[in-house]
Amino acid sequence: MTTLALAGAGLAAILGFGAGMWASPRRAARRPPAGGKAGGKEGELSAGALADMEEFYLEMVKTLARAVDSKDSYTHEHSERASVKARRLAARLGVEEPAARYVEYAALLHDIGKIGIDEAILLKPGKLTPEEYEVMKKHPIIGHQILSPVKYLGPVAEMVLYHQEWYNGQGYPEGLSGDRIPIGARIVAVIDAWDAMTSDRPYRKALSRDIAISELKRGAGTQFDPMVVEAFLEIEAGLEAETAVRRNGKVPPSA
């Protein structure tokens, strides 16, 4: 069995899916216990079970994301930061449940395909050669191959596959453009680019906030969905204000 097949099988086994008994936590929560009846008190228990299972799945996804981050010291906690912003951004753009939760998962797992990329390429301190860049471009496809066997993560796998597409159709792997790119993928693309620009990388130091803001605005309409960029910058300004409040020893406003 290949490394990718093992990763996909392992993910499905950890989350209890595959062809197994749970296609989604909601379906499992709706299922009454043996000898029991649905509705009434049983329905209340099912709602609690749903919440517990969704929390469990989120924690498992976070664990997998941390495993991916640990492979690259320069992107440590990158996925965790991305998920917080993804949740807020999805809400700002009117993405409803369960799609908003899938966006959060995609933000956590968008780089999972880098498991299949040689560390010599991932951690290269200089510019990638054209051949190395072609290898790096495979990580969305690898991520999709890992996640797609897990039924509950099907929408997440699609967002991961397309998070490197450009709004003008010049991205990869399929050259999708505009609204043909899933909204979750468009959200992850902006968050991923911001975090990459504002974090130290093997080949450069982090860019300043002002430069990163300028780059996002410059890419709106070409690389990024302008609507997502505008909403993201509003979210980021709010997060920066909260950070400033904390530095002053005050309680920040609720998100």
Q: Both tokens of residue 254?
A: 């609720």
For the residues 132-159, what does the mean pLDDT come to? 93
Please report the domains of the chain, with CATH numbers, ordered by start residue.
Answer: 3-247 (1.10.3210.10)
The vertex-181 CA angle with 163 and 109, nearest 5°, equals 25
pLDDT value of residue 96: 94
What pLDDT does 34 receive? 45
175-192 mean pLDDT:
97
User: Using an 8 Å Cβ cutoff, are 53 and 59 in contact?
Assistant: no
| Percent of the chain with pLDDT strictly greater than 70 | 65
Kindly report which listed range (27-41, 68-82, 218-232) carries the lowest average pLDDT score. Answer: 27-41
Q: Give residue 46's Cα distance to chain centre.
A: 28
Mean pLDDT rounded to a whole number for the chain: 79
C-alpha 112, offset from chain centre: 9
